[in-house]
C-alpha cells in the first residue's frame, strides 16, 4: 500500500519500485532515535555546565568545636556589653569580607542530622562532636582568595576549607564523554539510515532494471534518472523524519521535566519541584529546538544524497 503522498505516476513506476511503507517506517524510527540522542546530549551538556559552574563557585568550610570561644585576636576587644565570639561566629564574621554577592549559610543541627542519617541512622546520636558546616557560594566570575584557608587556619585553628574545583573538572570531563557518546550514536544512526536507503535504492534499481535500460538507451540522462529516484527517496525520508521527530517530542518533554529540578543552581533551594507543563516550552534550549527542526531535512538530505550516489554508480556500469 502506497503512502498518500507517493501515488504520483511516472515513467519509471517508482511507486512500485521503492518500498514506500518500509522505508518510511525505518526512517521514522531512525529519526526518533536521533531526536532522543540529541535531547540526551543537550540535557547532559546543560546540566553538566550548570553543575560544573556551581561547583566551581562553591566552598564548604568545617569548623571544629564551633561553640568554643574564638581566640582573642580574631574579634574586637571584649567589653562588658559584648559577649565573646564563638569559633563558628568568628569564621562567619571573616567570610563577610568576601566579594559582594557572596552567600554564606551555616547548616543547622537538623540539617546536619539529616545529612548524616545514612550513616548514623534515624537516632542521630553520636558521641563524637560534630563540626559546624558553612556553605559559601561566590558570585559568578569571582575567584576563591588564594590565602583563604591559610588565613582562617591562622585565626581559627582547625578550620578546613574544601574546594570543589576538582569536581568541576570531573563534571566537565563527564560532559565531554557524554557528548562524544552522543556524537557516536548520531553517526551510527546516520550510517544505518544511509545503509537502509542504499539497500532500498538497490532493490528499486533491480526491480525496474529493464525500464531503466530502455530509457537510458533512448537518451535519458543519468541526472534525470538519478533525480527521479533521489527525489522520491528524499520525500519519503522527509516524511519519515517529520513523523519520527513529532513522536519524540512527548518523551523528550517528559525527560526535560524530570531533569528540571536537577538544573536548579540556587544554594538555598532545599526542595526542588517539577515545573508546570505550560512553562516547559520556554525551558527547552534553543539549540535543541533548532536541531529538532533540522532533523527531518537532514534525513531527507541523507536519503537524497545516498540515492543520487547509488543510482549514478549503477548507471555507469550499464553497457
Q: For residue 219, what are the contacts with CB-CB under 8 A and spacing of at least 6?
A: none
Whole-angstrom distance, CA of residue 155 vs CA of residue 144:
18
Joined together, the cell numbers standing for residue 225 give: 534518472
Q: Is 247 within 8 Å of 32 (Cβ atoms)?
A: yes
**Beta strand ranges found along the chain (DSSP E):** 58-63, 103-106, 132-137, 159-163
| Segment 178-190, tens digit of pLDDT | 888 888 988 999 9
Query: Cell match 563577610: residue?
Result: 96
Joined together, the cell numbers standing for residue 284 give: 527547552
- What pLDDT band is residue 12 in, cutting at 50, 70 and 90? low
> Which region among 101-105, 189-193, 274-278 has the lowest average model confidence (pLDDT)?
274-278
Query: Which is more confident, 256 or 23?
Result: 23
| Segment 114-163, tens digit of pLDDT | 777 776 666 556 656 778 888 888 777 677 777 888 888 888 888 888 87
- Res 266: pLDDT: 44
- Res 111: pLDDT: 81
Q: Smallest Cα–Cα separation from 133: which of 168, 109, 163, 165?
A: 109
Joined together, the cell numbers standing for residue 281 give: 516550552
Q: Is 253 within 8 Å of 41 (Cβ atoms)?
A: no
- Res 8: pLDDT: 47
- Res 174: pLDDT: 77
Joined together, the cell numbers standing for residue 111 give: 540539617
Whole-angstrom distance, CA of residue 254 vs CA of residue 257:
5
| Range among 127-136, 213-222, 228-237 rated most confident | 228-237
Q: Is the pLDDT of residue 304 over 90?
A: yes
Instruction: Tell me how far apart the 2 most distant CA atoms of the chain are, in Å.
Output: 113
- Res 92: pLDDT: 86
Q: Smallest Cα–Cα separation from 303: which of 111, 38, 86, 26?
A: 26
Q: Is the pLDDT of residue 78 over 60?
A: no
Q: Is the pLDDT of residue 63 over 80?
A: yes
- What pLDDT band is residue 2 in, cutting at 50, 70 and 90? very low
- Res 218: pLDDT: 78
pTM of the model as a whole: 0.63
Average pLDDT, the chain: 76
- Give how far Cα 58 sits from Cα of 51, 92, 101, 266, Å: 10, 15, 13, 11
| Segment 165-177, tens digit of pLDDT | 666 677 778 778 8
- Res 14: pLDDT: 57
Is residue 62 classed as helix, strand or coil in its secondary structure? strand
Whole-angstrom distance, CA of residue 191 vs CA of residue 188:
5
Query: Which is more confident, 276 or 157?
Result: 157
Q: Show the CA angle centred on residue 166, arms to residues 160 and 168, nearest 5°.
A: 120
Outline where 143-221 has alpha helix (H): 148-155, 165-207, 209-217
- Res 306: pLDDT: 92
- Res 267: pLDDT: 42
Q: Is 300 within 8 Å of 234 (Cβ atoms)?
A: yes
Whole-angstrom distance, CA of residue 110 vs CA of residue 131:
13
Q: Is the pLDDT of residue 5 over 70?
A: no
Whole-angstrom distance, CA of residue 243 vs CA of residue 33:
12
Share of the chain above pLDDT 90, in %: 13
Q: Smallest Cα–Cα separation from 36: which of 222, 246, 282, 266?
A: 246
Instruction: Enumerate the domain spans of the chain.
Output: 4-52+168-316, 65-157
Q: For residue 174, what are the contacts with CB-CB under 8 A and spacing of at least 6?
A: 48
| Segment 243-268, tens digit of pLDDT | 999 999 888 877 777 766 655 544 44
- What pLDDT band is residue 104 in, cutting at 50, 70 and 90? confident
Share of the chain above pLDDT 70, in %: 72
- Res 82: pLDDT: 53
- What pLDDT band is residue 7 in, cutting at 50, 70 and 90? very low
Whole-angstrom distance, CA of residue 134 vs CA of residue 60:
6
- Res 6: pLDDT: 45
Dihedral through CA 159, CA 163, CA 166, CA 169, nearest 10?
180
Amino acid at each position: 500500500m502506497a503512502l498518500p503522498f507517493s501515488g504520483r505516476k511516472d515513467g519509471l513506476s517508482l511507486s512500485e519500485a521503492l518500498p514506500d511503507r518500509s522505508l518510511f517506517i525505518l526512517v521514522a524510527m531512525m529519526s526518533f532515535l536521533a531526536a532522543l540522542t540529541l535531547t540526551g546530549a543537550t540535557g547532559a551538556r546543560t546540566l553538566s555546565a550548570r553543575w560544573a559552574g556551581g561547583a566551581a563557585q562553591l566552598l564548604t568550610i568545617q569548623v571544629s568545636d564551633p561553640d568554643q570561644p574564638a581566640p582573642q585576636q580574631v574579634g574586637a576587644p571584649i567589653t562588658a556589653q559584648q559577649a565573646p565570639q564563638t569559633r563558628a561566629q568568628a569564621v562567619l564574621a571573616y567570610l563577610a569580607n568576601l566579594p559582594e554577592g557572596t552567600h554564606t549559610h551555616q547548616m543547622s543541627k537538623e540539617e546536619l542530622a539529616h545529612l548524616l542519617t545514612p550513616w548514623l541512622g534515624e537516632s542521630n546520636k553520636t558521641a563524637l562532636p560534630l563540626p559546624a558546616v558553612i556553605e559559601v557560594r561566590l558570585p559568578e566570575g569571582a575567584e576563591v582568595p588564594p590565602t583563604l584557608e591559610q588565613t582562617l587556619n591562622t585565626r581559627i585553628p582547625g578550620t578546613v576549607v574544601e574546594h570543589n574545583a576538582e569536581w568541576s573538572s570531573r563534571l566537565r570531563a563527564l560532559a565531554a564523554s557524554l557528548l562524544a557518546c552522543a556524537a557516536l550514536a548520531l553517526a551510527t544512526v546516520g550510517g544505518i539510515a544511509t545503509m537502509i536507503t542504499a539497500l532500498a535504492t538497490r532493490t528499486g534499481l533491480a526491480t525496474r532494471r529493464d525500464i531503466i535500460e530502455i530509457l537510458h538507451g533512448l537518451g535519458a540522462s543519468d541526472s534525470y534518472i538519478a533525480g527521479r529516484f533521489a527525489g522520491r527517496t528524499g520525500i519519503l525520508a522527509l516524511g519519515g523524519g517529520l513523523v519520527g521527530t513529532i513522536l519524540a517530542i512527548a518523551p523528550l518533554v517528559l525527560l526535560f521535566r524530570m531533569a528540571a529540578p536537577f538544573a536548579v543552581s540556587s544554594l538555598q533551594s532545599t526542595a526542588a519541584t517539577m515545573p508546570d507543563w505550560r512553562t516547559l516550552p520556554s525551558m527547552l534550549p534553543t539549540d535543541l529546538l533548532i536541531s529538532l527542526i533540522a532533523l527531518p531535512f537532514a534525513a531527507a538530505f541523507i536519503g537524497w544524497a545516498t540515492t543520487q550516489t547509488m543510482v549514478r554508480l549503477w548507471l555507469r556500469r550499464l553497457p
